[in-house]
A = this chain, B = another copy of it.
Amino acid sequence: MQRKIEVCLTPALLDLYAIEESIVVVIDILRATSSIVYGIDNGAEAIIPVAQVEDCLSYKDHGYLLAAERNGEVVEGYDFGNSPFSYTSEKVAGKTVVLTTTNGTKALHLARERAAQVVIGAFLNLDSLCNWLKDQDKNVLLLCAGWKDQFNLEDTLFAGAVVNRLRASFVHFDDSSVASEDLYVLARQDLRAYLSKSSHSHRLAALNIEQDVQFCLQLNVCKAIPVLKGERLLAL
């Protein structure tokens, strides 16, 4: 099989792609998919992504941890938001976390309607994810969650990192794969410095989550590849 890799730069473009036979990698680097990877790697039994803050509440009496973030801040009354530092083994090992986020959950839900398989990517599990993708006999779509359906730099850079590592194993690349890879190669020496050019970065700075940003840009801290089974993200 001459495998194809494509990058969907925002969920608003997902309808353009045939993904019924593809593995879709959902990417929301700041911070949903980074936290999911870290949480599963730290032994969370499952993470359940939900679309609305209100949906979280219906899980409240089942002993689940509830995580809700809107516009980058923890929603009042919830256990935590989507800072990766909330997903340490002390907090999540053996637990199920119900998570709602601004962009990541939306991308996940769109992808699962049609994709053959949905997995979670972040810089934290880059090599582990890429090694696994290499061994599957499937096309890959890298789905950037973006910011409110708009293109963002950090998700695109991660998509480019995946393309860069998979180049030798795939034959067909779309234009957004080419662009993403080139941006990643340009930025990889210092991802944080590169992202300081981003409008999103200014927004995040205002939220005082610089530690989170630094954490999410680390490569290969985790081995886990979260995969969607029904409504749950589990370790592959």
Interface residues, chain A, CB within 8 Å of chain B?
A: 9-10, 12-13, 16, 147-153, 156, 172-176, 178-179, 182-183, 186, 197-200
Contact = CB atoms under 8 A, between A and B. Distances in A.
Given A151-B176, A153-B179, 16 more contacts: A9-B151, A12-B13, A12-B16, A16-B148, A16-B149, A16-B150, A147-B175, A150-B174, A151-B174, A151-B175, A152-B175, A153-B178, A156-B179, A174-B199, A178-B197, A179-B183
A10 B151 CA distance: 11
24 contacts: A10-B13, A12-B13, A13-B13, A13-B149, A13-B150, A13-B151, A16-B148, A150-B175, A150-B176, A151-B175, A152-B175, A153-B175, A153-B178, A172-B199, A173-B199, A174-B199, A175-B199, A175-B200, A178-B197, A178-B199, A179-B179, A182-B183, A183-B183, A186-B186
Instruction: Determine which residue in A172, A199, A200 has the highest number of CB atoms from chain B within 10 A of its CB, and name it.
Output: A199
Among all A-B residue pairs, the 4 with the closest Cβ atoms: A151-B176, A153-B175, A178-B197, A152-B175
Nearest to A185: B186
Nearest to A10: B13
Contacts of A183: 179, 182-183
A173 B176 CA distance: 20
A150 B13 CA distance: 8
A61 to B, nearest CB: 38
Contacts of A150: 13, 16, 174-176
Given A13-B12, A16-B149, A150-B13, A198 B186 contact: no
Contact of A186 (B151, B175, B182): B182
